[in-house]
Structure 1
């Protein structure tokens, strides 16, 4: 049975974890996140617009994924489908990079440097949750900016609110008008979102481990592209189906056209006016986006990490 390391002091623990940091994970994670974002950003934009569409705001209403794509393209052009892509690239790239870096550093520390030591589903969830919290603290302002930019509509909706000139202007404006709290809107439901990553990484790791055991191979043995694709898609589908409502609440709290008194008020209003369906708005475009995005991210990560590790070892 694997034993969890005992903390002697925060300083000593931090130094011990730092010894296991491998920046190959950061490089591979950033590469995977950027690649998937550039390919699939339009679906992310549409997901956000569906999520905040409550029928009570002066914003466009879409009738399905195809109608959303055609309407945005007609009213805002191709650039409209890529609004918010800059902070999304920064956010996804840094989030995946930091997540893989934190997760694998803590994981290697717990394993005592032996990557062949099995940890079990509970420990995988715990480690993924810790990595998720650290990543969220560092990237939440970028996600706020991305949401705001994705929710800038065409001139057909002149009363829809404040428009930003770009990522830097949005960061400055939000900080000037709303302070640090504005940059951390949606942080509380984002903390619930940590469970999404925890479930996903637990399922992904366990499936890889079981498959390697079935093949009578070490649990850290390299798999083929199809295995990575299958495990990434299955783990993401499981996590997304369980935790999607938090993404709706988070997007609405970050939306500049809504005024909620916090997460609880947002949940109450969503339930009151839209019922349970309100918590799953944008689920179809979300799944259409996250499944291939996760597959691209994980396959890219696994292969880039192996490649970088080979040429730096």
Structure 2
């Protein structure tokens, strides 16, 4: 919620749909700006997450690449062996994906929260209520946008086909079900934004009480957003790695995972517990800085977006 457009027990006249749309638009803009800023870290993280799969393929004579040692080594080798633009492979699909994901998530999160506040006649929701609302919004987001992220993951590994080409290739060779690979861990990852936003709102509430101010500055929003995302990222990263492993499978290998549980047990067997955290440093840099930047942009943009939408709506009524 923004500082100026805040639902309270006395604000029943607020149009929840318009406000939710304003948050969705602001979230989409913030998400796209964030992904453009931090995308190379995502590419490196994805390469490291699926590295065990590449090692297996290497043993079968399909890929002759030497595994990356760590995030820094991956950065250096991608630039040296391929090209620096490779770090941005799949960026277009990521922009589409994050724009759609942020729009869907913020729309449902804001709408459900606004309605809940009005129904319960409260100014703030409890932790459990926030978690439930964030989870419902997250599920709607996953079911709507997962195909875009499957295409994006494939493009980060091989950008030859392009967005449309990769989409057609998956459907042709794997069926429409191929667009929903990693659905179960993706749904489990719904807990990530739940933990993130609940942490952010609680941190913001505590900081308000500590400082005695109702409106926070840009630096404060940035820091609180970063801490909230760090907490969520560490807790849910193993599922992100499993999702990436599943999404890179094309249905043609002999050593593919049979499902989520099979992937978990085999990763634990071959890589050990730490194998679930491959590529986490670069991913944490991307997600923590990205989330902080996104919170900052969204908080600044949402007030103006909602105001413009209300103005346009009232203008149409007058005309």
TM-score bracket for the superposition, by shorter chain length = 0.7 to 0.9
Q: Provide the C-alpha distance between the structure 1 equivalents of 2:92 and 2:49, rounded to a whole number of angstroms.
A: 20
In structure 2, stretches of 5+ residues that fail to align are 1-14, 311-319
Shift of 1:95: 0.9
In structure 1, stretches of 5+ residues that fail to align are 1-16, 153-162
1:27 to 11, 21, 25: 25
Q: What is the CA RMSD across the aligned residues, in angstroms?
A: 2.0
1:13-57 superposed Cα distances (whole Å, 9 cap, x missing partner): xxxx97466311121111111111111111100001111111323
Q: What pairs up with 1:67-216 in 2 under 5 angstroms?
A: 67-112=73-118, 117-152=123-158, 164-216=160-212
Q: What SS does the aligned partner of 1:111 have?
A: helix
For the 8 Å contact 1:108–1:115, the answer to whether it is kept is: no
For the 8 Å contact 2:16–2:111, the answer to whether it is kept is: yes
Shift of 1:311: 3.5
Q: Which residue of 2 aligns with 1:3?
A: none
Shift of 1:216: 4.8
Count the aligned residue pairs. 284
For the 8 Å contact 1:20–1:113, the answer to whether it is kept is: no
TM, length-normalised to structure 1:
0.85
Shift of 1:74: 1.4
2:232 to 230, 239, 245: 239
Shift of 1:304: 0.7
For the 8 Å contact 1:148–1:254, the answer to whether it is kept is: yes
For the pair 1:57 / 2:57, whether they are aligned, the reply is yes
For the 8 Å contact 1:185–1:254, the answer to whether it is kept is: yes
Q: Which residue of 2 aligns with 1:293?
A: 290
Q: Which residue of 2 aligns with 1:223?
A: 216
1:183-232 superposed Cα distances (whole Å, 9 cap, x missing partner): 00001000110111111111111122233344556xxx442101211110
Q: Which residue of 2 aligns with 1:309?
A: 306
Change (3 A) 1:164 1:182: farther
TM, length-normalised to structure 2:
0.84
